[in-house]
Amino acid sequence: MKIVDSLYQYDLQMLLWCNRSRQKTLHCTLAKSISKTGDGFLQVLLPFTLLLVGPANSLDYFYHTALAFAVQMPLYWFLKNSLQRRRPPEVIPTFESIITAADKFSFPSGHSSAAFLLANITFIFYGAVAWPLYVWATLVALSRVALGVHFPTDILAGALLGTATAFLICFAI
């Protein structure tokens, strides 16, 4: 139990450190904008665009991406609703998030999971051209902490879930 308590204290301190300067208008606007890009639009647009443009392996990429999301989404919802980790404003009495999350629980981060799933599948299929997607996925994940709707371990778990799902679908199937 001491390890869990230590992890929780570290997680709490990282959240508070990330949110110290969140009252700055530019910071909030930027975090909101980045977070919105992780709402799912790019995860649908990119596979469809590549399918239409027709680079090598685009049909395979499209199918693997669709299958990966079909596996990741139920896993994500199962974990989130089974573990039921409360969001930062519910745990920290004086803490207020900048936005209101769409659902009640925070672990794992769905935005982080979906963003890293897309980045990893794109990397597996197209190599180094996917590096900007890793930067984007990282920014999406960090924006969720900056907005106060996730703890750092939520985004880490989401990133690991998305990455594991991508590799499972691409290399085990």
> What are the tokens at 140?
């999406």
Element (H, E) at 150: none
Q: Please provide the average confidence, as pLDDT, over all residues in the chain.
A: 85
Share of the chain above pLDDT 90, in %: 42
> What are the tokens at 72?
């990741």
* CB-CB contact of 48 with 62 (8 Å): yes
pLDDT digits (tens, 9 = 90+) for 108-167: 999 999 999 999 999 999 999 999 999 999 999 998 888 888 888 999 999 999 999 999
3-class DSSP assignment, residue 151: coil
| Residue 67: pLDDT band with limits 50, 70, 90 | very high
CA dihedral 11, 78, 66, 131 (to 10 degrees): 10
Least confident range from 46-55, 62-71, 73-82, 111-120: namely 46-55
> What are the tokens at 90?
């519910």
Helix crossing, 25-37 with 131-146: angle to 10°? 130
Share of the chain above pLDDT 70, in %: 86
Residue with tokens 């197209």: 126
- What pTM does this model have? 0.86
Amino acid (1-letter code) at residue 90: E
3-class DSSP assignment, residue 102: coil
> What are the tokens at 7?
């992890």
- Residue 69 pLDDT > 70: yes
Among 121, 101, 98, which residue's Cα sits nearest to residue 109?
Answer: 101
